[in-house]
């Protein structure tokens, strides 16, 4: 027993050369393999075995350090396309919960466009600037999209905001505020109401993208998605049980897909 305990202590001291994350995940398993391969009555590791363990451990540490330094030089971390797409899809699926509030599909396809714009802006700015600037860039991209979609005639070349286009958007918002108190769900797809809906979906897309992709807080990213589910609860809309079930399943699929994509990204790191 004493010889086995001495050998185990010696192996544990050698395993200190390996990264702490490796020891936490595989240390006991690795130690068991070393002890199982030891000779009967062996009290300490052989000299060549010690050198091999130290060399492998230090080599693993150097490779991990080189990987982190390369990531910092390249702009923190590479753009994760899978996670970006998962965040966008989760937002689109969660927005289906708004279907009892409005007639037609203009609001949905407008929201899909807003989500795509936010995802593209996030993917192009994520590596170069801090998280707060990524958030502001996504908000700016969303505003350009809303300006082009709802005030394109008043904009310069149909895209760049002008004073006239901003005033037109403000007018649509005031009209939407008046119309939402006039109609009961499902409301007609008036331009102002569609504008508010698309802007809300876009804002949720911005928060989800920043939290899940930029900050790697996918669990917290479920909060803005939950907001889309809660909006119909604050109105007189009464979707049927089948509709409620389908909407819930679609939202869960999107959220679980987001968590899965984040988990795969963490494993690769």
Per-residue model confidence (pLDDT) at position 168: 94
Q: Tell me what the mean pLDDT of segment 54-68 comes to.
A: 72
Per-residue model confidence (pLDDT) at position 87: 94
Q: Does 183 lie in the same domain as 61?
A: no
What percentage of the chain exceeds 90 in pLDDT? 32
Mean pLDDT lowest among 118-122, 226-230, 235-239? 235-239
Per-residue model confidence (pLDDT) at position 165: 92
Q: Does 246 lie in the same domain as 174?
A: yes
pLDDT at residue 228 tops 80: yes
Per-residue model confidence (pLDDT) at position 269: 53
In the structure, what pLDDT confidence band is assigned to residue 65 with cuts at 50, 70 and 90? low
Q: Does 122 lie in the same domain as 56?
A: no
Say how far apart CA 175 and CA 178 lie, in whole Å: 5
Domain of residue 173 covers: 81-268
Q: Does 35 lie in the same domain as 166?
A: no
Per-residue model confidence (pLDDT) at position 79: 54
What percentage of the chain exceeds 70 in pLDDT? 89
Q: Are 127 and 78 in contact (CB under 8 A)?
A: yes
∠ CA 89-246-262, rounded to 5°: 30
State the total domains in the chain.
2
Q: Does 129 lie in the same domain as 201?
A: yes
Q: Does 118 lie in the same domain as 33?
A: no
């Amino acid at each position: 027993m004493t010889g086995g305990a001495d050998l185990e202590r010696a192996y544990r001291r050698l395993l200190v050369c390996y990264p702490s994350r490796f020891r936490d995940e595989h240390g006991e398993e690795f130690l068991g393999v070393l002890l199982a391969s030891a000779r009967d009555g062996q009290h300490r590791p052989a000299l060549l075995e010690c050198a091999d363990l130290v060399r492998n451990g230090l080599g693993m540490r150097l490779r991990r350090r080189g990987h982190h330094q390369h990531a910092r030089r390249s702009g923190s971390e590479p753009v994760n396309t899978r996670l970006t797409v998962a965040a966008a899809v989760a937002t689109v699926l969660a927005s289906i919960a708004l279907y009892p509030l409005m007639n037609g599909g203009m609001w949905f396809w407008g929201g899909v466009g807003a989500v795509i714009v936010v995802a593209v802006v996030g993917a192009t700015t994520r590596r170069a600037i801090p998280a707060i600037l990524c958030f502001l860039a996504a908000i700016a991209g969303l505003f350009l999209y809303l300006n082009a979609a709802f005030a394109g005639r008043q904009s310069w070349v149909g895209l760049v905001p002008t004073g006239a286009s901003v005033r037109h958007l403000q007018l649509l918002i005031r009209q939407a505020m008046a119309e939402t108190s006039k109609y009961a769900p499902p409301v007609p797809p008036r331009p102002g109401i569609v504008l508010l809906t698309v802007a809300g979906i876009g804002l949720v897309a911005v928060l989800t993208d920043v939290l899940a992709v930029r900050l790697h807080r996918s669990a917290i990213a479920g909060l803005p998605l939950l907001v889309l589910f809660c909006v119909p609860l604050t109105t007189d809309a009464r979707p049927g049980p089948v509709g409620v079930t389908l909407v819930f399943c679609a939202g869960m699929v999107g959220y679980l897909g987001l968590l899965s994509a984040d988990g795969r990204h963490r494993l690769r790191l």
